[in-house]
A and B are shown apart, each in its own frame.
Chain A
Amino acid sequence: MSILQFLAVLSASLFAGAALYINVAEHPARMMLETRLAALQWAPSYKRATWLQAPLAVLSFGAGTAVWLLGGATGWLLAASLIGAVVPFTLIVIMPTNNKLLATGRDLSSADTRSLLRRWGWLHAVRTGLSLAATGIYLPLLVA
Protein backbone atom coordinates (compact mmCIF):
# COMPACT_ATOMS: atom_id res chain seq x y z
CA MET A 1 0.00 0.00 0.00
CA SER A 2 2.80 2.44 0.94
CA ILE A 3 4.60 1.75 -2.33
CA LEU A 4 1.41 2.42 -4.30
CA GLN A 5 0.85 5.64 -2.37
CA PHE A 6 4.39 6.75 -3.01
CA LEU A 7 4.16 5.87 -6.71
CA ALA A 8 0.91 7.82 -7.06
CA VAL A 9 2.35 10.92 -5.41
CA LEU A 10 5.76 10.80 -7.07
CA SER A 11 4.44 10.31 -10.60
CA ALA A 12 1.81 13.05 -10.17
CA SER A 13 4.48 15.44 -8.85
CA LEU A 14 6.90 14.62 -11.66
CA PHE A 15 4.11 15.17 -14.18
CA ALA A 16 3.24 18.49 -12.55
CA GLY A 17 6.87 19.62 -12.62
CA ALA A 18 7.26 18.75 -16.29
CA ALA A 19 3.93 20.37 -17.16
CA LEU A 20 4.82 23.49 -15.21
CA TYR A 21 8.15 23.70 -17.02
CA ILE A 22 6.35 23.64 -20.37
CA ASN A 23 4.00 26.45 -19.32
CA VAL A 24 6.56 28.62 -17.56
CA ALA A 25 9.63 28.09 -19.74
CA GLU A 26 9.30 26.11 -22.93
CA HIS A 27 6.16 27.53 -24.49
CA PRO A 28 6.86 31.21 -23.66
CA ALA A 29 10.39 30.80 -25.10
CA ARG A 30 8.90 29.19 -28.22
CA MET A 31 6.39 32.00 -28.64
CA MET A 32 9.26 34.47 -28.88
CA LEU A 33 10.21 32.84 -32.18
CA GLU A 34 8.80 33.68 -35.57
CA THR A 35 5.54 31.70 -36.01
CA ARG A 36 6.88 29.20 -38.57
CA LEU A 37 9.90 28.34 -36.41
CA ALA A 38 7.72 28.09 -33.32
CA ALA A 39 5.37 25.63 -35.07
CA LEU A 40 8.31 23.59 -36.38
CA GLN A 41 9.79 23.41 -32.90
CA TRP A 42 6.47 22.60 -31.24
CA ALA A 43 5.84 19.33 -33.13
CA PRO A 44 8.86 17.24 -32.04
CA SER A 45 8.84 18.82 -28.61
CA TYR A 46 5.21 17.83 -28.11
CA LYS A 47 5.98 14.23 -29.07
CA ARG A 48 8.85 14.04 -26.56
CA ALA A 49 6.70 15.53 -23.84
CA THR A 50 3.95 13.00 -24.57
CA TRP A 51 6.36 10.10 -24.09
CA LEU A 52 7.51 11.61 -20.83
CA GLN A 53 4.15 12.63 -19.39
CA ALA A 54 1.57 10.09 -20.56
CA PRO A 55 3.15 7.15 -18.64
CA LEU A 56 3.42 9.32 -15.52
CA ALA A 57 -0.28 10.25 -15.70
CA VAL A 58 -1.34 6.64 -16.26
CA LEU A 59 0.93 5.37 -13.46
CA SER A 60 -0.34 7.95 -10.99
CA PHE A 61 -3.96 7.26 -11.92
CA GLY A 62 -3.47 3.49 -11.60
CA ALA A 63 -1.59 3.66 -8.31
CA GLY A 64 -4.01 6.19 -6.77
CA THR A 65 -7.03 4.16 -7.81
CA ALA A 66 -5.43 0.98 -6.45
CA VAL A 67 -4.85 2.67 -3.08
CA TRP A 68 -8.54 3.58 -2.96
CA LEU A 69 -9.58 0.05 -3.98
CA LEU A 70 -7.39 -1.34 -1.19
CA GLY A 71 -9.28 0.69 1.39
CA GLY A 72 -7.72 4.14 1.07
CA ALA A 73 -9.73 7.34 1.58
CA THR A 74 -11.96 8.70 -1.19
CA GLY A 75 -9.40 11.47 -1.68
CA TRP A 76 -7.10 8.95 -3.35
CA LEU A 77 -9.75 8.29 -5.99
CA LEU A 78 -10.42 12.02 -6.40
CA ALA A 79 -6.73 12.84 -6.93
CA ALA A 80 -6.31 9.82 -9.23
CA SER A 81 -9.29 11.01 -11.27
CA LEU A 82 -7.79 14.50 -11.60
CA ILE A 83 -4.42 13.26 -12.86
CA GLY A 84 -6.15 10.59 -14.97
CA ALA A 85 -8.38 13.28 -16.49
CA VAL A 86 -5.40 14.72 -18.38
CA VAL A 87 -5.59 11.75 -20.77
CA PRO A 88 -9.22 12.19 -21.96
CA PHE A 89 -8.74 15.98 -21.80
CA THR A 90 -5.81 15.62 -24.17
CA LEU A 91 -7.63 13.25 -26.51
CA ILE A 92 -10.92 15.14 -26.61
CA VAL A 93 -10.05 18.80 -26.06
CA ILE A 94 -6.41 19.29 -27.07
CA MET A 95 -6.12 16.80 -29.93
CA PRO A 96 -8.16 18.87 -32.43
CA THR A 97 -5.73 21.76 -31.91
CA ASN A 98 -2.77 19.38 -32.31
CA ASN A 99 -4.24 17.94 -35.49
CA LYS A 100 -4.74 21.40 -36.97
CA LEU A 101 -1.16 22.34 -36.14
CA LEU A 102 0.15 19.11 -37.66
CA ALA A 103 -2.08 19.18 -40.75
CA THR A 104 -0.26 18.72 -44.05
CA GLY A 105 -0.30 21.87 -46.11
CA ARG A 106 -0.84 24.22 -43.17
CA ASP A 107 0.69 27.66 -43.61
CA LEU A 108 3.05 27.61 -40.65
CA SER A 109 3.68 31.34 -40.88
CA SER A 110 0.01 32.32 -40.69
CA ALA A 111 -1.69 34.25 -37.91
CA ASP A 112 -4.00 31.26 -37.48
CA THR A 113 -1.03 29.04 -36.66
CA ARG A 114 0.13 31.54 -34.05
CA SER A 115 -3.35 31.67 -32.57
CA LEU A 116 -3.45 27.85 -32.42
CA LEU A 117 -0.08 27.75 -30.65
CA ARG A 118 -1.32 30.32 -28.15
CA ARG A 119 -4.48 28.28 -27.63
CA TRP A 120 -2.39 25.13 -27.13
CA GLY A 121 -0.49 26.90 -24.34
CA TRP A 122 -3.72 27.71 -22.52
CA LEU A 123 -5.04 24.18 -22.96
CA HIS A 124 -1.79 22.77 -21.65
CA ALA A 125 -2.16 25.00 -18.58
CA VAL A 126 -5.33 23.04 -17.76
CA ARG A 127 -3.24 19.86 -17.63
CA THR A 128 -0.74 21.62 -15.39
CA GLY A 129 -3.56 22.73 -13.10
CA LEU A 130 -5.06 19.25 -12.94
CA SER A 131 -1.72 17.67 -12.05
CA LEU A 132 -0.93 20.31 -9.41
CA ALA A 133 -4.40 19.80 -7.89
CA ALA A 134 -3.86 16.02 -7.84
CA THR A 135 -0.48 16.47 -6.15
CA GLY A 136 -2.03 18.87 -3.65
CA ILE A 137 -4.70 16.33 -2.73
CA TYR A 138 -2.40 13.30 -2.67
CA LEU A 139 0.22 14.69 -0.30
CA PRO A 140 -1.92 15.38 2.79
CA LEU A 141 -3.41 11.89 2.29
CA LEU A 142 0.05 10.41 2.80
CA VAL A 143 -0.02 11.56 6.40
CA ALA A 144 -3.76 11.21 7.07
Chain B
Amino acid sequence: MERTRLAFNILAVSGSAIYAGTMLAIGVILGAQWRSVFPSEFLDAFARDIQFISRAVAVTAIPTIVGIAGSLRLNWGHKPAWNFIAAQAACVGLLLLFTSLWFGPTNNLFLAKSLPMNEVAGRLDLWLLLHNIRVALAGLGSVFGALALAVRS
Protein backbone atom coordinates (compact mmCIF):
# COMPACT_ATOMS: atom_id res chain seq x y z
CA MET B 1 0.00 0.00 0.00
CA GLU B 2 2.81 2.37 0.98
CA ARG B 3 4.62 1.69 -2.32
CA THR B 4 1.42 2.31 -4.28
CA ARG B 5 0.87 5.59 -2.49
CA LEU B 6 4.44 6.64 -3.18
CA ALA B 7 4.09 5.67 -6.84
CA PHE B 8 0.95 7.82 -7.21
CA ASN B 9 2.61 10.74 -5.40
CA ILE B 10 5.66 10.53 -7.66
CA LEU B 11 3.45 10.25 -10.75
CA ALA B 12 1.53 13.35 -9.61
CA VAL B 13 4.69 15.42 -9.05
CA SER B 14 6.62 14.29 -12.13
CA GLY B 15 3.55 14.44 -14.37
CA SER B 16 2.73 17.95 -13.22
CA ALA B 17 6.30 19.24 -13.62
CA ILE B 18 6.73 17.60 -17.04
CA TYR B 19 3.36 19.02 -18.02
CA ALA B 20 4.61 22.47 -16.92
CA GLY B 21 7.69 21.97 -19.12
CA THR B 22 5.50 21.12 -22.08
CA MET B 23 3.34 24.19 -21.50
CA LEU B 24 6.46 26.34 -21.11
CA ALA B 25 7.84 25.06 -24.42
CA ILE B 26 4.54 25.78 -26.17
CA GLY B 27 4.66 29.38 -24.93
CA VAL B 28 8.35 30.02 -25.57
CA ILE B 29 9.10 28.06 -28.73
CA LEU B 30 5.80 27.77 -30.55
CA GLY B 31 4.49 31.13 -29.38
CA ALA B 32 7.49 32.97 -30.83
CA GLN B 33 7.13 31.04 -34.06
CA TRP B 34 3.43 31.89 -34.37
CA ARG B 35 4.17 35.54 -33.68
CA SER B 36 6.84 35.68 -36.38
CA VAL B 37 4.48 34.98 -39.30
CA PHE B 38 1.59 36.84 -40.91
CA PRO B 39 -1.88 36.25 -39.37
CA SER B 40 -3.07 34.14 -42.30
CA GLU B 41 0.05 31.93 -42.07
CA PHE B 42 -0.42 31.68 -38.31
CA LEU B 43 -3.98 30.38 -38.76
CA ASP B 44 -2.74 27.67 -41.14
CA ALA B 45 0.08 26.79 -38.75
CA PHE B 46 -2.33 26.69 -35.80
CA ALA B 47 -4.63 24.27 -37.62
CA ARG B 48 -1.65 22.04 -38.36
CA ASP B 49 0.00 22.31 -34.93
CA ILE B 50 -3.04 21.95 -32.68
CA GLN B 51 -3.52 18.22 -33.28
CA PHE B 52 0.10 17.56 -32.27
CA ILE B 53 -0.12 19.92 -29.29
CA SER B 54 -3.20 18.04 -28.08
CA ARG B 55 -1.23 14.82 -28.29
CA ALA B 56 1.66 16.26 -26.25
CA VAL B 57 -0.71 17.73 -23.67
CA ALA B 58 -2.58 14.42 -23.35
CA VAL B 59 0.67 12.46 -22.90
CA THR B 60 1.60 14.67 -19.95
CA ALA B 61 -1.79 15.65 -18.49
CA ILE B 62 -3.32 12.17 -18.22
CA PRO B 63 -0.57 10.71 -15.97
CA THR B 64 -0.77 13.88 -13.85
CA ILE B 65 -4.51 13.48 -13.31
CA VAL B 66 -4.18 9.76 -12.54
CA GLY B 67 -1.34 10.53 -10.09
CA ILE B 68 -3.31 13.24 -8.31
CA ALA B 69 -6.48 11.14 -8.09
CA GLY B 70 -4.55 8.18 -6.63
CA SER B 71 -2.64 10.45 -4.24
CA LEU B 72 -5.82 12.05 -2.95
CA ARG B 73 -7.34 8.63 -2.29
CA LEU B 74 -4.26 7.08 -0.66
CA ASN B 75 -3.26 10.09 1.48
CA TRP B 76 -6.73 10.45 2.99
CA GLY B 77 -5.52 9.67 6.52
CA HIS B 78 -2.60 12.09 6.42
CA LYS B 79 -4.05 15.59 6.64
CA PRO B 80 -0.93 17.74 5.89
CA ALA B 81 -0.02 15.74 2.78
CA TRP B 82 -3.63 15.54 1.66
CA ASN B 83 -3.98 19.33 1.91
CA PHE B 84 -0.98 19.87 -0.38
CA ILE B 85 -2.32 17.31 -2.86
CA ALA B 86 -5.71 19.02 -2.75
CA ALA B 87 -3.95 22.31 -3.54
CA GLN B 88 -2.19 20.60 -6.44
CA ALA B 89 -5.53 19.21 -7.64
CA ALA B 90 -7.02 22.72 -7.42
CA CYS B 91 -4.20 24.11 -9.60
CA VAL B 92 -4.65 21.42 -12.25
CA GLY B 93 -8.44 21.71 -12.02
CA LEU B 94 -8.29 25.47 -12.51
CA LEU B 95 -5.95 24.97 -15.44
CA LEU B 96 -8.33 22.53 -17.12
CA LEU B 97 -11.32 24.75 -16.41
CA PHE B 98 -9.54 27.78 -17.83
CA THR B 99 -8.54 25.74 -20.87
CA SER B 100 -12.08 24.60 -21.57
CA LEU B 101 -13.72 27.97 -20.87
CA TRP B 102 -11.34 30.31 -22.70
CA PHE B 103 -8.75 28.42 -24.73
CA GLY B 104 -11.23 25.95 -26.23
CA PRO B 105 -13.53 28.61 -27.73
CA THR B 106 -10.55 30.75 -28.82
CA ASN B 107 -8.88 27.76 -30.47
CA ASN B 108 -12.15 27.08 -32.29
CA LEU B 109 -12.20 30.68 -33.54
CA PHE B 110 -8.67 30.23 -34.91
CA LEU B 111 -9.53 26.87 -36.46
CA ALA B 112 -12.70 28.20 -38.08
CA LYS B 113 -10.78 31.30 -39.24
CA SER B 114 -13.84 33.25 -38.16
CA LEU B 115 -11.98 36.19 -36.60
CA PRO B 116 -11.45 39.28 -38.77
CA MET B 117 -7.83 39.13 -39.99
CA ASN B 118 -6.96 42.43 -38.27
CA GLU B 119 -7.94 40.93 -34.90
CA VAL B 120 -5.95 37.71 -35.20
CA ALA B 121 -2.59 39.09 -34.01
CA GLY B 122 -4.19 40.75 -30.97
CA ARG B 123 -6.05 37.56 -30.04
CA LEU B 124 -2.86 35.54 -30.44
CA ASP B 125 -1.02 37.94 -28.10
CA LEU B 126 -3.80 37.49 -25.54
CA TRP B 127 -3.67 33.70 -26.04
CA LEU B 128 0.06 33.71 -25.29
CA LEU B 129 -0.31 36.06 -22.33
CA LEU B 130 -3.00 33.93 -20.74
CA HIS B 131 -1.05 30.78 -21.56
CA ASN B 132 1.50 31.98 -18.97
CA ILE B 133 -1.17 31.46 -16.32
CA ARG B 134 -1.44 27.82 -17.40
CA VAL B 135 2.35 27.45 -17.14
CA ALA B 136 2.28 29.01 -13.66
CA LEU B 137 -0.62 26.80 -12.50
CA ALA B 138 1.12 23.65 -13.71
CA GLY B 139 4.40 24.71 -12.06
CA LEU B 140 2.66 25.64 -8.80
CA GLY B 141 0.84 22.31 -8.88
CA SER B 142 4.13 20.44 -9.02
CA VAL B 143 5.47 22.50 -6.10
CA PHE B 144 2.44 21.50 -3.99
CA GLY B 145 2.93 17.89 -5.06
CA ALA B 146 6.58 17.99 -3.99
CA LEU B 147 5.56 19.51 -0.64
CA ALA B 148 3.10 16.65 -0.14
CA LEU B 149 5.92 14.20 -0.77
CA ALA B 150 8.18 16.10 1.64
CA VAL B 151 5.70 16.09 4.55
CA ARG B 152 5.11 12.34 4.14
CA SER B 153 8.81 11.40 4.12
Contacts and interface: CB of A to CB of B under 8 A. Distances in A.
Interface of A: 2, 6, 9-10, 13-22, 24-26, 28-29, 32-33, 41, 44-45, 48-49, 52, 132, 135-136, 139-140, 142-144
B43 interface: no
B142 interface: yes
Given A49-B25, A52-B25, A143-B153, A17 B17 contact: yes
A140 B17 CA distance: 15
A135 B49 contact: no
Contacts of A139: 10, 13-14
Contacts of A132: 18
Chain A interface, >50% SS class: helix
A144 B10 CA distance: 12
A14 B49 contact: no
Given A17-B24, A142-B149, A24 B52 contact: yes
B17 A20 contact: no
B146 interface: yes
16 contacts: A9-B13, A13-B13, A13-B20, A13-B142, A17-B22, A17-B25, A17-B60, A18-B21, A20-B56, A24-B55, A25-B26, A25-B55, A29-B48, A32-B48, A48-B28, A139-B10
Given A10-B142, A143-B153, A49 B29 contact: yes
A52 B52 contact: no
B130 interface: no
Given A45-B29, A142-B150, A29 B22 contact: no
Nearest to A27: B52
Contacts, number: 115
Given A2-B150, A29-B48, A49-B29, A18 B10 contact: no
Given A13-B142, A29-B52, A139-B10, A22 B36 contact: no
A140 B7 CA distance: 9
> Which residue, A24, A41, A49, A136, has most C-beta atoms of chain B within 10 A?
A24
B82 to A, nearest CB: 16
A13 B139 CA distance: 10
Contacts of A18: 21-22, 24-25, 29
B29 A17 contact: no
B19 interface: yes
B33 A45 contact: yes
Contact of B18 (A6, A16, A144): A16
Contacts of A19: 21
